[in-house]
Structure 1
Amino acid sequence: MKYSKDIDFFRAILICLVILVHIVNFGNIHPLAKSAILSFMMPTFLVITGYLVNIDKTIREFLRYIGQILLPYVIRVTGYAVLSLYLPVRDGIKVFNLSTILDIICIKSIGPYWFLHVMIVCGVIYYFAFHISRKIDITARYSIFAALLIITALFTPFLSLEAAFYYFVGVGIRQYCKDFSRVYLNSFWPLLPFGLLVVHPRFHGWGTISVLVCVFSFLSFSSYFICFFKGRTKSIIEYIGRNTFPIYIFHPMFTMLSKFLSPAFKWDFTGLSHAILIIVIGVAGSICIAKVLDWSHLSYLLGKKKILR
């Protein structure tokens, strides 16, 4: 597989959007903008994730990879659930007991951590489907993978078919195209269909073809803007893109506390200045937490020798 630095640029944009939509104040002021962002943001992340997952590993190596997602997932979901009892969270819990915790860890998840749940479920199915037999070709294994995803989504509560689809697309790009940059064009013009689709809520459903169009349009016009960033600015963006995992798992700490800064921004009726500040704090704060964990070797508690890349 050929790794493209464009992916780091895409992920840097996407992780900033993830923080943005989790800011309660922004969502209250701009509900349509939040819906528009959600329509393509996580599907794009899932496509990229499906592409990046490497299954050319021994069972032990792959289980270590799953464990490095599972351990932070369990810790953060549990922590998020506890905080949701005291802080404003739309999908928080009302009662803290064993059955509730098992439900949010194993089945529905809460907060932004459903994404890690999808990574774990799809990753395990992906590995199994492509190692079931080395005697069959890629198309056969890819078809088995599709069938297993559909069965899991239809007959168990562990997976959404819409989320699985975008992960599946990413896997297809890896298996058939090899190079991620072959599936998008470096052009400003795809911004036109993208803009026309995201402004209409009826096109926001992940089960619609319009979202897939938005995903690849986003990749295309975003890649066009890469050339405008040089030197240190570009390096910082790529660094953020390489380290979306720690930002993803730690940023809710900052978005949940952002409500306490809202009164200082009453002068800004758009809520954008507050949102920008929280994004900066969320990114910087998450990276600082990861650095402290790496420095103190507490990163081992999350199943990793080093969190930052």
Structure 2
Amino acid sequence: MEQDNQTVVREFMLLGFSSSQWVVKMSLFLVFLTIYTISLAGNCLIVALTLFDPRLHTPMYFFLSNLSFLEVFYTSVTVPKMLANFLSRRPSITVGGCIAQYYFFFSLGATECFLLAAMAYDRYLVICNPLQYRSLMSHLLYLNLAIACWVCGFLSPLLPTLMISKLPFCGPNRIDHFFCDADPLFRLSCADTYVQQMAGYTLISVVILCSFTFTIASYVHIAGALLKMSSGKEWTKPFSTCASHIAVVSIYYGTIIFMYVRLGVNKSFNLGKVVSVFYTVVTPLINPMINSLRNREMKKALRKALIVVVQH
């Protein structure tokens, strides 16, 4: 193909949840706008509470605040553009904007995988090594763990993103998705993308499976420690704390493993869009609801903050 034809496409059309019916589009717009607003408010509230309440200056709440801080940006990478496209007659995104969205989406997703693993390790130390917890999970250690999660998360998709940015896009410019996911980008390139796909999906699979395996291994050890406790009252509180974390882990990993761990199965784009909603929209919403705001200490901090606001 001639070089002239390889630089024709300057923007992509994001079809999203395409529907010609105005009522359907507005209904979806209001649903996603409501979810996005609640998600932002809940996660920002958790970050604010953990910053300003000294009782929450512990490793567990430090990791929770990092996760909530991440969720604010993770959902903001895709949802605002999707909302804008519901209202646009020509829902488009530039090629550069699409590649940038791909990078930040996968870098924040990888960071979330690492943070969930770090949180599982923290719970493992609390329950399996309670007497040594303070010395093992020092301030320096959990700070370095969080930094490592963010740095490794943002480095992980860097090479695949650079490789994708070099691809020529000269054919159809319609992306049958609500954001710039990997599969649609590969399908739109007019060059052979085998190397890019192998690099991208191998790296994604390694990040997902390694962090997931580490997380599961931590909870297997936790389950073993809980079973050894003679009294039910001894494991009620740690089990409740871990159960909320496991719920988030199950939904998040279940959906991303289905989408990105290559098992040689062709998945339809319509099914992929529905599954994508869970880890791009639903998980950032349920994190503050079941992972933090149900927590007793977090409720106390919220009541204290409300009292201060009312008094002023």
The TM tier, using the shorter chain, reads under 0.3
- Provide TM-score, normalisation by structure 1: 0.28
- Provide TM-score, normalisation by structure 2: 0.28
- Which structure would you say has the larger RCO, counting Cα contacts within 8 Å and 6 or more residues apart? 1
Q: Which structure is larger by alpha-carbon Rg, 1 or 2?
A: 2
